[in-house]
């Protein structure tokens, strides 16, 4: 698979999708994160508005302990798309690990709301459990259940 993307890139060095697919393959199938980062960098240089390249690069940076780099990429995503739930969720996690608890709560609740509006209940459930796991705080639980009860009432 990687060889196929490499051949496509050799034929057309500006083929963003080939770099993106190869980076995803490096990241998800081989665990070669340095190679994935190089390809995500190339994607971003060819298409500075490619949200998935920033998000995936942010994920690798987070897992590598490079929290500031991860935060930078997620903030770039939000500057391009202020309604990107995945970026809010990621930024919430990064902010939590950087000690910005209030910022983390705000981001995760924003992600939860965006997922709900889009009807993505799987990600709503994921974000809900993430909020409950990270904060373990009675006030946060009350806020979360308040949001959930408003959602249920609005659907009736």
Low-confidence ranges of the chain (pLDDT < 50): 152
Contacts of 75 (CB under 8 A, 6+ apart): 91
List b or e across 97-122, with b for residues whose CB sees 16 or more CB atoms inside 10 angstroms.
eeebeeebbebbbbbbbbbbeeeeee
| pLDDT for 154 | 56
| pLDDT for 102 | 94
The neighbour count for residue 7, using CB atoms within 10 Å, is: 10
| pLDDT for 46 | 98
| pLDDT for 155 | 55
The pTM of the full predicted model, rounded to 2 decimals, is 0.87
| pLDDT for 135 | 86
| pLDDT for 60 | 97
For residue range 115-145, list pLDDT tens digits in order: 999 999 999 999 999 998 898 776 666 666 6
Cα–Cα nearest to 19, from 8, 34, 29: 8
Contact indicator for 70, 87 with CB cutoff of 8 Å: no
| pLDDT for 136 | 76
Rounded CA-CA distance 57/130 in Å is 21
| pLDDT for 142 | 67
| pLDDT for 20 | 97
- 15: alpha, beta or left, given left = phi > 0 and alpha = psi -120 to 50? beta
Contact indicator for 127, 111 with CB cutoff of 8 Å: yes
């Amino acid at each position: 698979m990687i060889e196929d993307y490499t051949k496509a890139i050799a034929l057309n060095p500006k083929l963003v999708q080939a770099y993106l697919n190869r980076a995803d393959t490096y990241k998800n199938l081989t665990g070669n994160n340095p190679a994935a980062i190089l390809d995500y960098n190339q994607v971003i240089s060819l298409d500075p508005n490619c949200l998935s390249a920033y998000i995936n690069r942010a994920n690798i940076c987070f897992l590598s302990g490079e929290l500031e780099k991860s935060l930078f990429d997620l903030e770039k995503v939000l500057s391009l798309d202020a309604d990107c739930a995945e970026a809010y969720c990621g930024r919430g996690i990064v902010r939590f690990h950087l000690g910005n608890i209030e910022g983390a709560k705000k981001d995760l609740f924003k992600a939860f709301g965006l997922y709900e509006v889009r009807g993505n209940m799987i990600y709503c459930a994921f974000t809900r459990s993430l909020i409950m796991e990270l904060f373990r705080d009675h006030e946060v639980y009350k806020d979360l259940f308040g949001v959930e009860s408003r959602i249920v009432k609005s659907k009736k």
